Amino acid sequence: MTSYNLKIMEIEKELEDTDHYLDFKTEQVKIEKILKLRDQKNVLILGHNYMKPLIYHLSDKDSRGDSLALSMYAAKSTSPIILFDGVRFMAETAKILNPDKKVLIADLNAGCSLADPFRKQDVLEYKEKFPGAPVVTYINSYAEVKAESDYCCTSANALKVVNHASKDFNSNKVIFLPDSLMGKNLENELGNLESKIELIYPGKYDNKFGRCEVHEKISAEEIRRIRRQFDLKKGSSDSAVLVHLECPPEVLAEADYYGSTSGMAKYLLEHPNLKKVYLGTECEMTSNLQNEFPQIDFVRACQVFCQHMRKITLDKILFSLENEVYEINVEENIRRKAKTSIDRMLSIGR
């Protein structure tokens, strides 16, 4: 962990050529208080890619990223307290993997349109309807849902986990929860691979629907308009449109690459010739990646923000750290079962 003084200088340097520098100067006193508390209490601050830049930059460079990478990183840390700057299911995942640590979140009501409606009962209903079919659950879900599932997965490894689940359970049917659009996208990928697996997901045989309210708003027409307006030709070697796997299938068809947030960052690293990029995901990801890829001109045409992520503010972070409140707890029986589904995924690979 970089010390408080060095960290302030680091944030200032990272933000100095960005639109967020003035905000940093305005909020500097608050940021300093947070970082002093971080050092005094030996707190590991984890920052999800979708946090506002001032919050994202509170975390050290190796403590930023997607929810699973952050939770796994926390397991290697010796800090007794973790502050998770993200939404509640992410902090729960950190607790599942770090049961002996105190896990805090600045707002316990920071939910998720995908995770919130799906509960244990929903998993049990699918299991009853499709006996023998393994349940693969996206990491964007609560502990009680992971606990009733056979495997957890991320958007980076969903297809791999579905294939393993089918083989391990010797079942052509695999239940995928809770994201309907991701389920449809995976079904399309399985079709392209001429797989015999039948994916069952919310909305296929019932009227349930699991959705990320941010990614479902991105449309194919918008991607086409952005391509025309900013001269982003499909297949070009120096420009690209990258979208998240939670987007509708017709959006994926318009993109040069689709995948997870970590997959998008990896794509940029692996394509050093890219000069102009549009990211079809939560808008803050673009702001946060800008200083990691200064050679790229990121197209600022994004209009989708996650209202749940926005519940995390500097004031709430300060209050949570000062008082060590808003702790995440997961009942031990549920935690163990949820961890089994995560461990199975980890043994398959990210």
Beta carbon of residue 183, minimum distance to ligand SF4 (angstroms, whole number): 14
Query: Smaller CB distance to ligand SF4: residue 197 or 212?
Result: 212
Query: Smaller CB distance to ligand SF4: residue 68 or 114?
Result: 114
Query: Smaller CB distance to ligand SF4: residue 74 or 309?
Result: 309
Query: Smaller CB distance to ligand SF4: residue 38 or 308?
Result: 308
Query: Smaller CB distance to ligand SF4: residue 212 or 302?
Result: 212
Beta carbon of residue 233, minimum distance to ligand SF4 (angstroms, whole number): 28
Beta carbon of residue 305, minimum distance to ligand SF4 (angstroms, whole number): 9
- Residue 223 is inside which H or E element, if any? helix 220-230
In the numeric block, which tokens belong to residue 189?
């990928």
Beta carbon of residue 125, minimum distance to ligand SF4 (angstroms, whole number): 22
Beta carbon of residue 116, minimum distance to ligand SF4 (angstroms, whole number): 8
Beta carbon of residue 281, minimum distance to ligand SF4 (angstroms, whole number): 8
Point out which residues bind ligand SF4 (CB under 6 A): 50, 87, 112-114, 140, 212-214, 282, 306, 308-309
The closest of 107, 109, 60, 87 to 318, measured between CA atoms, is: 107
Query: Smaller CB distance to ligand SF4: residue 24 or 50?
Result: 50
Beta carbon of residue 91, minimum distance to ligand SF4 (angstroms, whole number): 12
Query: Smaller CB distance to ligand SF4: residue 140 or 286?
Result: 140
| Angle formed by the axes of helices 180-192 and 158-168, nearest 10° | 70
Measured distance CA(299)–CA(282) in Å, rounded: 13
Measured distance CA(161)–CA(143) in Å, rounded: 19
Query: Over the Cα atoms of the chain, what is R_g?
Result: 20
The closest of 115, 122, 133 to 175, measured between CA atoms, is: 133
Beta carbon of residue 86, minimum distance to ligand SF4 (angstroms, whole number): 8
Beta carbon of residue 70, minimum distance to ligand SF4 (angstroms, whole number): 14
- Residue 174 Rama label (left phi>0; alpha psi -120 to 50; beta): beta
Q: Is-contact 258 245, C-beta < 8 A?
A: yes
Neighbour-count burial of 198, counting CB atoms closer than 10 A to its CB (0-12 exposed, 13-18 middle, 19+ buried): middle
Query: Smaller CB distance to ligand SF4: residue 177 or 214?
Result: 214
CA atoms within 13 A on the CB side of 39: 13
Burial 109-135 (b: 16+ CB within 10 A, else e): ebbbbbbbebebebbeebbeebeebbb
- Separation in Å, CA 285 to CA 238, 260, 292: 20, 12, 11
Going through the chain in order, the beta strands assigned E by DSSP cover 43-48, 64-65, 81-85, 102-104, 135-138, 151-153, 173-177, 198-200, 239-244, 257-259, 276-280, 297-298
Query: Smaller CB distance to ligand SF4: residue 254 or 282?
Result: 282
